[in-house]
Amino acid sequence: MLGTGSCLPSHVVGNEEVGAAAGVSAEWIHRKTGIGARRRAKADEATSDLAVAAGRAALEAAGIAPAQLSLIVVATSTPDQPQPPTACVVADLLGAGHGVAAFDVNAVCSGFVFALIAAERVLAGSDGSYALVIGADVYSRILDPADRRTAILFGDGAGAVVLGPGRSGRGLLAGRLAGFGAERDLIEVPAGGSRLPASERTLAEGLHFFAMNGRGVREFVDATVTPAIDTFVSDAGFGMEDVDHFVPHQANGRMLEDLSARLGVPAERMCVTYEDFGNTGAASIPVTLDHAARSGRLADGDLVLLAGFGGGMAMGLSLLRWQCL
C-alpha cells in the first residue's frame, strides 16, 4: 500500500438523536455498542462524493496522479444508483482519464477486503500499474430510524488505499475470501432488486430498509469468523502474537471486544474507530487503517491483519507487511 485516505461527513449525530427516534437512551446505546457518535452524509452527498474525497486523499498520500491509475475498485452496498457502477462515476470525477478499468464489489461490510484482494490479483501481472481501492457506504439512506437493531449502529463514510509496486517483502502477504450463502438472510435489504422490484407494497411494508438479525450475526462471528482468523494466520506461517495491528470491521464495539479476547489480541494491538464513526460498512476497515497510518501508529515492516465480515454472509481476511514511504 502506497497511501491511504478517508472521508467522513461533517455532520455528527450523537446517541441522543438516534436514540430518540429508536426509542432507547443514549446510555443504552453506548453500553450495548460502545458507539458514541456517527456521521451522516448531507442530502446532496452520495456514495461517490465520499469515495472521491477519500480517493483524492489516498492518491495525495501516495504521490500518485489519477492519470497513473489503471484500475479503480469501489466496495459498496449503497451505490449511487443501480447502474452504472459507482466506480465509473469516481473515475470520471477524479479525472482518471479514458480507459481506466473501474468496477464495484458488493460483499457488504467485508467488501473492502474482497476489493483489495481482487485489485492485487489484477495488478500482479502488470508492471508499474497502480490501483485505487475504495470502501464507501451511505447507510443513512437505507436505515429505518425506528429500528434500534440497526439505526443506532451505522454511519456514513469512505476509506481508500493506493496499490502499486513496493519494496520486496512489503504489501499483501496472504488473503482469503469465503462466503456462507445459507446464512444470507441474517443481513439483507429485501426489496429493490429483480426478486422484489419497488412497488407500493414494498414501500408500505418497509422492505427497502436494511434489516439485520443481530444475534445471528454475533453467533456467526463467534462460530465461524473467529476460528477462521486463527486458521488463516496460522496457514500464512504466523501466530496471533506476531500480528502488530489487528484492523477488524467496526461492526459493534462489544462484539469486537469479544472477538479480540477470543483471539488473544491485546486491546492495544486492535485498531478501532467505532466510538466516533460507528459502523461505516465497507468503509470501516479502510477508514480505520487510514486513521492508524496518519497517526503514526503503523511502523515500517509491521504485520497488519484485516478482517472483514458481513452480509452474504461473507468474510474477507488479509495479512499485510506495512510499508512506510
Q: Where are the domains of the chain?
A: 3-168, 172-271+293-321
**Using one digit for the tens of pLDDT, what is the confidence trace for 292-308?**
999 999 999 999 999 99
Give the model's pLDDT for residue 128: 67
Q: Is 278 left (phi over 0), alpha (psi -120 to 50) or beta?
A: left
Give the model's pLDDT for residue 100: 95
Active site residues: 109, 249, 279
Tell me whether residue 138 is exposed, middle or buried, using C-beta atoms within 10 angstroms of its C-beta: 0 to 12, 13 to 18, 19 or more. Answer: buried
Domains 3-168 and 172-271+293-321 equal at CATH topology level: yes
**Using one digit for the tens of pLDDT, what is the confidence trace for 208-258?**
999 999 999 999 999 999 999 999 999 999 999 999 999 999 999 999 999
**Using one digit for the tens of pLDDT, what is the confidence trace for 120-145?**
999 987 766 899 999 999 999 999 99
CATH number of 172-271+293-321: 3.40.47.10
User: What global pTM score does this model have?
Assistant: 0.96
Best CA proximity match to 19, nearest among 150, 212, 210, 148: 148
**What CATH class does 3-168 carry?**
alpha beta
Backbone angles phi, psi at 152, to 5 degrees: -80, -15
Pairing type for strands 187-188 and 171-179 reads unpaired
